[in-house]
Structures are given as C-alpha cells and as structure tokens.
Structure 1
Amino acid sequence: MIFERSLQRELAYTAGAVFMVLLTLVLTTMMIRIVGFAASGEVDPRDVLVLIGLTVIGYLAIMLVATLFVSILFVLTRWYKDSEMVVWLSSGVSLTQFIKPIGIFATPIIILIMFFVFVGWPWSNQQSKLIRARFQQRDEVSLLAPGQFRESPTTHRVFFIEKMSPDQGRVENVFVTSTEGGKVNVVVSRNGHVETHKNGDRFVVLENGRRYDGEPGHPDFRIMEFERYGVKIQSQPVVNTPTTTGLPTLTLLRNPTNENLAEFAWRAGLPLIAINLMLLAIPLAHQNPRRGRTINLVMAVLIYLTYSNLLNVVQSWIEQGKMSFGVGLVILHVIVLGIVAFIFWMRVRNRPLFTRAMFSRSQGA
C-alpha cells in the first residue's frame, strides 16, 4: 500500500538521523572518558582510538534499540501533528495495520541488535580488557617516563630518569631505589642502556654510578662505585582473566552459573526490549494536533530508562539467586507486552491514556 511505502521511507530517513546523533554523543563521551584514562596512565595513549572503536561496538546494540523506538515515535508523532494519520485512519486503515510495515522496517534492525549483543558485546569487552591488561602488565622499562618517579608493581622498585631515547634504548641520569629485608638500596648512574640476553632476560645496564646500601636511620651505609651495573627488568605474563561480560554467549549457556545466566538474560532482553518498544511506539505516538508533542517525548525517555533499569534489576536478582533464570528471562517482557496490548486496546477504542481530570487532580494535589 501507499501508506506502507511512505511510512517505511520516512522511518529509514529518521532512523539514520537519530542513529548518527546517538553515535556522535557516544563517540564524544567515550573519547573524553578514554582520553582521561590515557592521561592518568591507565591505558596506553596509542590504544585510545582502538578502545574507542571497541567501546562503540559494544554499545551499538543499545544505540540501535533507542534508534528504533525514537524513530518510530518521531515519525508517527509528526503524522498526528500534521493530520496525516487522520487521513489514513479515515481511509479505513486501522492502528493495528501499522504493525506490519513497521515490523518489516524493524526486522533488519532487530537482527543487528541480536548480532551485536550476542557477538559484538562480549568480543569488544574481551578485547578491551586484553588491551588494558597488556598495558598494566608491561615490563618495568615501559613504565619509565622522563622526569617522573615511577613505581614497579612487580618489584616495588622506584625509578627516575631524566632523559630517555625515543626507542627506550638509552637513559641518562638514572635513580633506582628498592627495599629488601628492611634495607634500602639506592643506585644512581649517569648513563645506561637496555640489553637483551640470549635466554630472553632483559637488563638495564647502568654505567659510571654508585650504589648505597643501608638501613634508614643508621649511619653505616655502604657505598660502592661501579662502571657497569645490571638491573634485571621484571615482566609479568599477560593474564587475561575472563569476565562475565566478555564470555561468548554459548559459553554462558554451557557454564550455567548464576552470574552467567544473569548475563545471558540481559543479552536476550535487549532484542525483546526492541520488539516491545517498537509495538509501544505505535499507540504512544497518538496526540491531539492542537497540543505540543513534549508529553510524548518525555514519556518515551521515561519508558526507555525505566525498562532498561528494570532489566538491570532482573539481571541482579538472577545473579543473587533471588529469581530463577526462566522467570527472569520472560517475566518483565511479558508484563510490558501486556501493557502494550492494553494501550493498543485503549487507542483502538479511541480512549485517551491521560485525561484532563488526571492532570487537574495532580495539579490540585
């Protein structure tokens, strides 16, 4: 039908615009957040763009859910505002007939939501965690920064260097201190370089320096001068401890702990949220052309946030064992589907959801 093609075309244009706005907001927020992590030394500055991309992939499912709901609501609200909906309804098109064209438009989006939530979300979380783990567990030379005191997490040594070559091969004016058995060891040197032995061990070889050994508060410090002094570089293997959010979906089902089942319920809930919100947007868009559409938009935001937060609550209850997995997987979405059916029934019978009496009573209270 003509109205179906017209509706799907306008939905496609609106969905593209809404998605670009949401993508811009997410990119800006993630950029500020991850650049802050890089500035504080929590991530490698060279990995900032990769981490931003992985984070966006992880949030694509949520963005697509919001895009689907908002685009349908925007288009139908405009049709009511411009009296186009009145024309179609007067031509014999019922409100329930809008489900088919909107469902056809939403099907590829829902498939994308399922792909990104079941595949993209765990993969992006796993890769982000691996990149962070590699940076946090790098060797001690990688920790060094000219003009800054840096403590090694593996040996509790404190390093300070004044200058370092771009390839981190040579250092100048080095200060190294460590504590062993209550004694303090301090090594100072003019120059140094990095050596790698055949067995893979790495050393910072200091040249023309001194070593001070002793106990704090005691004058009997031992002073030694050296021409070459090797400090072994300690490194940790990269250990990627899997988290629930980074586990593949099939792994969650093969290992049905409360945490894994709760995570699966959250992932499965996003496509169900998209379907319910897609249906809800049809009757929710109804409005009087003489009034503004602010109420509908506010209601849309409140409904989306409430629905998402309730899904998080259900996930928490399943994880804590307060709710069984089977019940938690469907109960929230069945309740919302019942509410959607009731609102559809109200709209088909041309009954308003909000009357003036309701608002007058609330204002009087």
Structure 2
Amino acid sequence: MIIDRAFYREAAAMILAVAVVLLIVVTLMTLTLLLGRAARGDQSEAVLYVLLGYQMMAKIDILLPLAFYLGILLTLSRWYRDSEMTVLAACGVGVMHFLKPVTWLALACGFAVLIGAFYLTPLAARQIEQVKMESTQRSEPGLISPGVFTEAQGTGRIVYAEKAAKNGDLEGIFVSSMEQDRQGVLIAKSGQPFTDGKTGDKFLALRDGVLYDGEPGTADYRILEFAVYSLRIEPKKPTEAPVPTAGLPTLDLLSQYSDRNVGAELHWRLGKTIALFVLMLYAVAISYTDVRRGQMSNLFAAIVVYFVYSNLLGVGETMLQNGRVPLALGLWWVHGVMALVAAYLLWRRAHNRPLIALPAVWSRG
C-alpha cells in the first residue's frame, strides 16, 4: 500500500535521525566523564577511547527503544500537523491502520534490542571491567598523566611528571616514596623506562636529579645528586577481572535463576525489548497534534511517559532484588500496567475522544 510505504520510508529516516542525535549526545556526556577520570589520574588516557567504545556498545539496547519511540511519535505528529491524517481519515484510513506498519518496524528494532540486551551489553560490561583491571596493572610510567600526581597501587609511590611522551619518556619528574620507614623524594629533569635484558625487570632511568633521603633535620638525612638513577618498577601480579551480574552471559543467568540478583538482571534484559512494544502503543496514541496545540505538547507528554515507565522498571528491579516481588512475577506487572493504560489511550484516540476525560464542569469552563 502506498500509504504504508510512505510511512515506512519517513519513519525509518526519523528513527535513524533521532538515534544519531541521541548517540552523539550520550557519547559527548560519556567522553566528558571519562576525560574527568583521566585528568584525576583514576585511569590511563591510553584506554580512554577503548572504554568509550564499550560504553556506547552497552547503551545500544537503551538508546534504540527511545529512538524508535520518538521517531514514530514525530512521524505521526508531522502527518497530523500537516493534515495528512485528516485526509486519510476522510478516506476511511484511521489511526488504528498504522498499528500494522508500526508493529513491523517494532519487530525489526526489537530484534536489534534483543541482541543488544542479551549479548552486546553483557559482553561490553565484561570488557569494561577487563580493560579497567588491565589499566591498573600497567607499569607506573604507563599510568602517569602529565600534570597529575599519580599514586602507584601496591607501592604507595607518588609520581608526577610535567610532560609525558607516547613512548614513555618523561620530563620534570617528581617521585615520593616510603621505603623501610624512610621518606625519599626524587627530582629529575627526565626519565626513560627500560627493561633489564637479563632479569626482565623494569626500571625507570632518571637523569640529572637530586635524591632527598630521610627526615630533614635528623643526623642521617642525605641529599644526593646523580646523573643517572635507576628506579625499579614493581611488577604487579596479573589478576582476572571480576564479572559483574550485568556482565554475566545469558546462559549463566538461566542456570542461576534462583538467585534474586541474577533473576532481576534477566527480567531487566527481557524488559528492554518488551518496553519497546509498549512504547509503540503510546507513540501512536499520543502522536495527535494540530497547529493550535504546537509542536512540543505531545512530545512533552511522551517524554513524561518514558520517564515514568523507566523509573517504574528501575523500582521493579530493586523490589525484585530485595525480595518484595516474587521472581515469577518479575517486571511483568510494570509492563502490564503500562500496556493497559496505553491500550485505553489508544482506544480513546481511535474513537476521536480526548485522551484524558475531564469532568463536565471543567470541560464547559
């Protein structure tokens, strides 16, 4: 049908446009957060963009339902605003006709959300923990951010460098450490990491510096100038990153379903796909608008619905974890309530009634 093909074409373009906008916004917000952590020295700059990629992968199953929801809403709103829906209604094509093409689009998007929720997001969660663990196990020069005091985990050594090159060379180095109950401070103009060919131990060759050893004012306090000082970099024992519940593979969730946290995670993953089909009903019901209403009235209502729905899902997951809701019920009660409300609003829209029935006194006023 010509109408369906036109709707498919415009709705798909709108969903894609909204998805791109949401992805850009979320990417910028996530990048700002990661840059702040790197500036504080909480993580290495070398893994910054790797973490950003995995963070974006983990958000596909959240961004896509929202993009689909807003894309359908904006498409139908444009048809209402330009009186195309009025012309179609005069030809016998009502709003309920669009449930079929919207459902087909929802099935396509739902399949992508299903893959994201049950495979991509858990995989990204595991990789994020692994990257964070590997970044903390890197050698001290690799953890140094220029202009930031960095504490080496396990040694208590504090390192600062004014400049750090990509090959690991450092300039303007300050090192403070406590060894055998003696405070030591090293200041050097430059430093280069190297590995001993015989033992395989890693060192930092500090050049043209001064060593302050001991407590100032005591008899054993020393000040030593050096041309080259080899500072040993303590190796870190490799450890395996812990797998959070959100990163467990779906098959592992099914085998451990009796655990409340695991069961809540499984319902949460499934709920992302179900929510897309419930939001589909709201998009069709709330899409009605006209010139007098303006372009933002129904969009505001749609955003309120989305936040109420997402917050209810979050509350439902917490109640599952706390044992206040049985695992058999899961999050179905949230989906059921929201679906019933959406069906009621859609029924009123199909019968050309206002979505909210006001009292007669109010309507006359």
TM-score by length of 2: 0.84
1:244 aligns with 2:242: no
Map 1:226-265 onto structure 2 (within 5 A).
Answer: 231-236=231-236, 237-256=238-257, 257-265=259-267
Alignment of 1:220-299 (within 5 A): 220-221=220-221, 231-236=231-236, 237-256=238-257, 257-287=259-289, 290-299=292-301
**How is 1:1-365 mapped onto 2 (pairs within 5 angstroms)?**
1-144=1-144, 149-159=149-159, 167-168=167-168, 176-180=175-179, 182-186=181-185, 194-204=194-204, 214=214, 218-221=218-221, 231-236=231-236, 237-256=238-257, 257-287=259-289, 290-354=292-356, 360=362
Deviations 1:23-64 (A, max 9, x none): 222222223222222222233323333322222221122121
Partner Cα distance (2:347, 2:247) in 1? 42
Q: Give the match's secondary structure for 2:315.
A: helix
- CA deviation string 1:212-261 (max 9, x = no partner): 66567643447789898654311322431111222222222222322222
Contact 2:39–2:145 at 8 Å: present in 1 too?
no
Identity %: 34
Q: Structure 1 unaligned segments of length 5 or more: list them.
A: none
Q: Which moved more, 1:4-13 or 1:227-236?
A: 227-236
Q: 1-side partners of 2:288 and 2:276: how far apart?
A: 20
Gaps of 5+ in 2: none
- How far 1:281 moved relative to its partner? 1.5
Deviations 1:263-306 (A, max 9, x none): 22211111111000112211222345543243211110000111
TM-score by length of 1: 0.84
Provide the C-alpha distance between the structure 2 equivalents of 1:309 and 1:296, rounded to a whole number of angstroms.
20
Structure 1 residue 262 displacement after superposition: 1.6
Equivalent pair of 2:41/2:145 in contact (CA under 8 Å): no
Match of 1:311, SS state, is helix
Deviates most, 4-13 or 306-315: 4-13
Range with greater deviation from structure 2 (253-262 or 41-50): 41-50
After superposition, the CA RMSD in angstroms is 3.2
Secondary structure in structure 1 of the residue aligned to 2:353: coil
**Residues 261 and 184 of structure 1, relative CA distance in 2, 3 Å threshold:** same
Q: Output the CA distance in 2 between the equivalents of 1:78 and 1:185.
A: 70
The separation in 2 between residues aligned to 1:191 and 1:7, in whole angstroms, is 65
Residue 67 (structure 1) shift: 1.3
Q: CA, structure 1 residues 53+210, in 2 after alignment: closer, same or farther (shift >3 Å)?
A: closer
Say which is worse superposed, 11-20 or 305-314, in terms of deviation. Answer: 11-20
CA 166–123 in structure 1, closer or farther in 2 if over 3 Å, else same: closer
The residue identity in structure 2 corresponding to 1:135 is: S
CA contact (8 A) 2:38 2:145 kept: no
CA contact (8 A) 2:213 2:223 kept: yes
Aligned-residue offset at 1:103: 1.0
| Contact 2:135/2:143 (<8 A) preserved | no
Q: CA deviation at 1:312?
A: 1.0
Write the distance in 2 (CA, Å) between the matches of 1:296 and 1:359.
24
Question: Counterpart amino acid of 2:50?
Answer: V
Q: Structure 1 residues 128-137 or 293-302, which shifts more? A: 128-137
State the distance in 2 between where 1:123 and 1:37 align: 23
The 10-residue stretch of structure 1 (276-285 or 266-275) with the greater mean CA deviation from structure 2: 276-285
Partners of 1:173 and 1:190 within 8 A in 2 = yes
Residue aligned with 2:154, SS: coil
CA gap 1:63/1:358 in 2 versus in 1, 3 angstroms: farther
Deviation at 1:156, TM superposition (A): 1.1
How far apart, CA to CA, are the structure 2 residues paired with 1:359 and 1:135?
66
